[in-house]
């Protein structure tokens, strides 16, 4: 946990997030309208709030599974080394899969996970990220759907943490260190 005091400035309100999820779900339903069961894969831990709201809004038959990947630990900077801490419980071969990511920053995690799940021969493999920081990208990866593009700020809330704190905020906020 950080010893430096910080404050959180709201960037994206809970109401704005909810409205954007409704919009995204229209496109997702169009893409997967013919699926018999969509496997929605949440990348833990940051995506758990987003995935819950997303699947409630989707009017499709869904199965939810989780994969835990880490490249941050308790740091504000990516280590660029992606480790799989928890793999899927179910199989995805021949099935439609939607990977749900909280934030695409350097892109290393999303690239690693899409490569991993792509090697398991899904029917269709698509990605969605609540937040995207294109200015930080170090890999050639882009989510199929993006909730919000944001500047290079360290953010928390709506499932996203800083040293395991602030996940429970209903909005996305920018961390600002007090001096």
State pTM to two decimals: 0.91
Tens-place pLDDT, residues 1-57: 457 889 999 999 999 999 999 999 999 999 999 999 999 999 999 999 999 999 999
Q: Are 97 and 117 in contact (CB under 8 A)?
A: yes
CA distances from 94 to 30, 38, 97, 120, 124 (A): 19, 11, 9, 9, 8
158 DSSP β-pair partners: none
105 is catalytic: yes
Does the domain at residues 6-177 carry the CATH identifier 3.55.10.10? no
The residue whose two tokens read 């941050």 is: 72
Please tell me which residue in 9, 105, 140, 144 is annotated as part of the active site.
105
The residue whose two tokens read 């490569």 is: 115
Q: For residue 179, is pLDDT > 80?
A: no
Tens-place pLDDT, residues 42-90: 999 999 999 999 999 999 999 999 999 877 554 555 557 788 999 999 9
The predicted structure's pLDDT at residue 1? 45
């Amino acid at each position: 946990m950080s010893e430096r005091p910080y404050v959180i400035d709201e960037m994206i309100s809970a109401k704005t997030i909810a409205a954007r999820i409704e919009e995204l779900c229209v496109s997702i339903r169009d893409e997967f309208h013919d699926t018999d069961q969509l496997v929605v894969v949440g990348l833990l831990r940051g995506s758990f709030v987003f995935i819950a709201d997303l699947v409630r809004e989707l009017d499709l038959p869904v199965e939810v599974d989780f994969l835990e990947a880490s490249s941050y630990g308790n740091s504000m900077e990516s280590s660029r080394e992606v480790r799989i801490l928890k793999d899927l419980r179910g199989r995805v071969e021949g099935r439609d899969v939607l990977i749900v990511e909280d934030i695409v920053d350097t892109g290393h995690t999303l690239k690693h996970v899409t490569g991993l799940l792509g090697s398991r021969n899904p029917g269709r493999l698509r990605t969605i990220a609540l937040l995207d920081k294109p200015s930080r990208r170090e890999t050639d990866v882009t989510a199929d759907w993006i909730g919000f593009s944001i500047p290079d700020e360290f953010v928390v809330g709506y499932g996203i943490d800083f040293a395991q704190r602030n996940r429970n905020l209903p909005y996305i906020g920018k961390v600002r260190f007090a001096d």
